[in-house]
Amino acid sequence: MLLKFPKPKHGWRDFWGEVGIIVLGVLIALGAQQLVEAIQWKREVAGFRAAIREEIENDLHSYPYRAKQEACMHARLDELQQWLEGWREGRGVKLTGPIGMPASRVIRKNIWDSTDPATLAHVPRAERAEYSALYSEFMNNEVHRLDERDAWMELASFEGADLLDHQDQIRLQGLIARARLRDERIQSNFKRFLRRAAERSGLHPTPVLADTPKYDRQLCVPILPKGSPA
């Protein structure tokens, strides 16, 4: 049994011409849709890029912000070491004021954490990887920052002490060493990190004044009695 296909009313030539017009129309419609989507994603990525770069540059400012306290931090730790040596040698004195604490800024990563994965997928892979690496550095610095803060909070417990027994002396020495170690790590990472952000992504520390805590002025005020042996 032979199957017969119905012959187009106006002939096969016209039929295929009409089919071609329909296919072309579908392709144009799909292409237009893809073009619109591409434009939309380009805008989404541009908005994400502007927001994430602003967040990173604000976070980068936490390093130079902290660095401005370096001289006072070192002087205070030197004073505490001198104070400790005095107690070890039997000529301990009482501190004349509060020890103080270096101020630090909390790292913000709200934009990074809340980014839609679909938007992130449209960011060039190398750029996306660099942002991820920068935030990993931030989180590593947070480990140092928080432990340094804890060390200084424990150092503050010696304010007003009029006697340091052997255990107190051991504890104080450990806290001084801990604070120095964290400071050294933060300073080492700080220089390398800012250089990387600038060279690879063109990012530089930019402060947001509303998000900048005030420095503790007490940190820069000497606390050993005048005339204490060096």
Terminal Cα distance for the chain, rounded? 116
Contact 216, 101 (CB under 8 A): yes
CA atoms within 13 A on the CB side of 99: 23
Burial of 84 (0-12, 13-18, 19+ CB in 10 A): buried
State the sign of the Cα–Cα–Cα–Cα dihedral 178, 179, 183, 189: positive
User: Rounded to an integer, what distance in angstroms lies between the CA atom of residue 65 and that of residue 225?
Assistant: 30
Ranges 11-25, 48-62, 201-215, most confident: 48-62
204: confidence class by pLDDT, cuts 50, 70, 90: very high
Write phi, then psi, for 129 (nearest 5 degrees).
Answer: -65, -35
Q: In terms of residues, how long is the chain?
A: 230
pLDDT over threshold 60, residue 188: yes
CA quadruple 194, 196, 199, 205: dihedral, nearest 10: -20
User: Rounded to an integer, what distance in angstroms lies between the CA atom of residue 78 and that of residue 96?
Assistant: 15
pLDDT over threshold 60, residue 3: no
Q: In terms of pLDDT, which residue wins out, 38 or 221? A: 221
213: confidence class by pLDDT, cuts 50, 70, 90: confident
Give residue limits of the domains in the chain.
12-220
| Residues 22-79: tens digit of each pLDDT | 666 666 766 666 655 667 878 888 999 999 999 999 999 999 999 999 999 999 999 9
Alpha helices in 70-205 (DSSP H): 70-88, 110-114, 117-121, 125-155, 166-201
pTM exceeds 0.95 for this model: no
Contact 110, 55 (CB under 8 A): yes
